[in-house]
Chain A
Amino acid sequence: MRENFKIAWRNLWRNRRRTVITSASVFFAVFFAVVMRSYQLGSYDHMINNFIESFTGYLQVQNVKFQDNPLIDNSFNYTDSLAAAISGVDNVVSVTPHLESFTLASSGSQTKGVAVIAIDPGKEKYFSDPEAKLVRYRITDVTLKRLKEAGNIPDKILYRANKSLGRSFSSPSRLELELNLSDEEKQLYLGDILKCLEAPNHYLSEDDNGILVSDRLAGYLKVAIGDSVILMGQGYHGVSATALFPVRGIIKMPAPDIDNKLIVMTIPAAQKFYGAEGKITSFVVNLTDKSNHTINRAKNSINALLRDKNTTTKTWYELNPVLYQQIQGDSQTGIATLGLLYFIIFFGIFGTVLMMVAERKREFGVLVAIGMQKRKLKWIVTIEMALLGAIGLIAGLVTSTPLILYFYYNPILLKGDMASMMEEWGWDPVMPTAWFGPYFYWQTLVVAVMVILVTIYPMRKIGKLKEIDALRA
């Protein structure tokens, strides 16, 4: 065996070019497949994190009628004991109560239908974290003028800031990225820039009677911090819900369709407003991971805890089937593309093997003629093929690893028009790679299958080899 292996290894390097070409085609197949799939899965992961972990949650406890008819009437009683019991279920990371409804918001002569999400300001930090979404910096005519008057900011940066007029940012890093600051510029000017562009903003306190308004909605209603917004709608069991709420803060939601219509208030304020004492519409539950196994187990455990027969637990894909199907559809497309890639590569490998067998026909003939067993010859060729595949595979995996690692920790951040486009679709303009998972190991299997299929040809050729004919070749 060891001897066979040694012979196979030497055989490979007797014709270096052929070996390099064959394993290079395996290498490219593996490299592209891994990187492509990693990006694809990574963006989905990010999308799920972005969208599900901070919007629908992996699981939600709701009134059975709420999903079809999201009225405040279809709510249920909040109890601390139930919240605590759900927190105790395996794999549960956070349990966040929500009271969600729709009303009319009005300020001056502007009126708009809005989504009201009532939260527990403390617990919400572990879920959608509205505090991190408060607009901290804003590029407006006023702040831009302030920036110009600061005097020491170079025109280059002012020009870039002017191009981003009207945009708002929740963190210095996002602003930095938008203005495309170099390390040196950051050192010199970032402090001044932040000071000039700063926007005052506040989060809600535990029993605040104020509201947070999403950025675009605030623009439409023409309200700023300290102004009041009238909310008008129907509350619990048809009572009329009308009240005036002071604006405490402006939040920037990444997805524009949410940014256009979101108002956040505290649960006690909403319960009073809607006349729904002690009611909430959902418990939003986040889990450690999103595998079906974890989700289903947690769902069953939580369902067992629910005493109120009108409540039930729903998974994120039941709550948002469109997103789920979209992800699945895209994933299938990705797999089909990979299949195509491998198909082409397979014939590339097959071509080189075909050539190899033709080139070595005489050699095989001589070996068999001087007494080498065909079985042994077949073994050696098989090992050669396996080595070719392994070289390509390992080279592919090894070269793609640093790439995946790098972009996992430093995801590609999109800027400018591309970023605004992504944001308009509702995605965060970030393209991370996925951490090593089954997709990575699967490549080994695919390459193994290709090598086995390709090996059939030399096996048959050797099997049918006639020494006389081969020697004359």
Chain B
Amino acid sequence: MKNKLTVILLALISLQCMNPLFAQDFSATEIVKRADDKFNGEKSSYSVMSMTVIRPDWKRTIEFISWSLGKDYSLALITAPAREAGQTFLKRNSEMWSWNPSISRLIKLPPSMMSQGWMGSDYTNDDILKESSVVNDYTHEILGEENIGDRLCYKIKLTAKEGASIVWGKQIQWIDKKEFLVLKAELYDEDGYLVRTEIGSDIKIMDGRSITSKIELIPEDEPDNRTLLEIREIKFNVAVDESFFSQQNMKRVH
């Protein structure tokens, strides 16, 4: 009897030990999900970021704080430069609002402004609004393994599902095998042309998990332009509820 128990225990322990070996056999969907969960897996988040817009003959940095709840709600407050500090942006479902203290006006961004860059960057307002689920809106396929820098990555092809209302037709992501972080992504339009490349780097441990603290965006048609997003601080599962993401609160948060 005692022996039997030991055998089971041993078996259980060895099962535990074999876990990393199983990791090699994740399905493509699981890999993408684990990478996605790094940023979007929790209910809510609070982050302090800076965004540097780089152009051939100038660059400029904007600092902002952002709160988010699920995929549908987020609020951003610009903190620097002084000229623009105090502006807030609210995303509720598929609508985006902007509050500007210098004119004390709340503005719903019109469709005509959707393709413009957010705060002059390479991220368009549409990118922020139509953020899709890389897990649910795409089918996934492992193409192989490749090194990005000195890190071994899964190379995964994501193909948009029929009927999904998303911006990209296809993505190719390089996801770190150990940490499940997207180190590089190529985004293609519906006709299969490369539109932009995103590069994640500078892996840091923040709020108990390792994440890429720098994300660089390089548009394909203007290879000299880029936007660098740096995460200075990030906390997950902060206490915010839906009522935080209101037009009233846009004018109050500071």
Contact = CB atoms under 8 A, between A and B. Distances in A.
Interface of A: 104, 106, 111, 113, 230, 232, 234, 237-240, 242-244, 275
B178 interface: no
Give the 5 A-B CB pairs with smallest separation, nearest first: A238-B120, A244-B103, A237-B58, A242-B100, A230-B103
Nearest to B78: A240
B55 A239 contact: no
Contacts of A237: 55, 58, 60, 120
B105 to A, nearest CB: 6
Contacts of B112: 113
B60 A243 contact: no
B128 to A, nearest CB: 15
B84 A111 contact: no
B110 interface: yes
18 contacts: A104-B113, A106-B105, A106-B107, A113-B112, A230-B103, A230-B105, A232-B100, A232-B107, A234-B116, A238-B55, A238-B121, A239-B60, A239-B81, A239-B83, A240-B119, A242-B102, A243-B102, A244-B103
B59 to A, nearest CB: 8
A275 B58 CA distance: 14
A240 B105 CA distance: 14
Interface of A, secondary structure class, is: strand
Contact of B120 (A240, A243, A244): A240
Nearest to A244: B103
B117 interface: yes
Contacts of B120: 234, 237-240
B31 interface: no
Contacts of A239: 60, 81, 83-84, 120
A106 B113 CA distance: 14
B119 A275 contact: no
Given A230-B103, A238-B60, 9 more contacts: A113-B112, A230-B105, A239-B81, A240-B87, A240-B100, A240-B119, A240-B120, A244-B102, A244-B103
Contacts of A244: 102-103
Nearest to B116: A234
Nearest to B100: A242
Q: Which of B87, B117, B120 has the most CB of A within 10 A?
A: B120
Contacts of B107: 106, 232
Q: Which of A232, A237, A238 has the most CB of B within 10 A?
A: A238
B53 A111 contact: no
Contact of B117 (A232, A238, A242): A238
Contacts of A240: 84, 87, 100, 119-120
A243 B105 CA distance: 10
A187 to B, nearest CB: 51
A238 B53 contact: yes
A275 B53 contact: no
Interface string B218-239: 0000000000000000000000
Contacts of A111: 110
Q: Which of B81, B103, B105 has the most CB of A within 10 A?
A: B103
A104 B87 CA distance: 17
Nearest to A242: B100
Nearest to B104: A244
A353 B83 CA distance: 86
A309 B84 CA distance: 32
Nearest to A238: B120
Nearest to B113: A104
A238 B110 contact: no
A142 B145 CA distance: 78
A243 B58 CA distance: 24
A113 B116 CA distance: 14
Contacts of B116: 234
Nearest to A228: B103
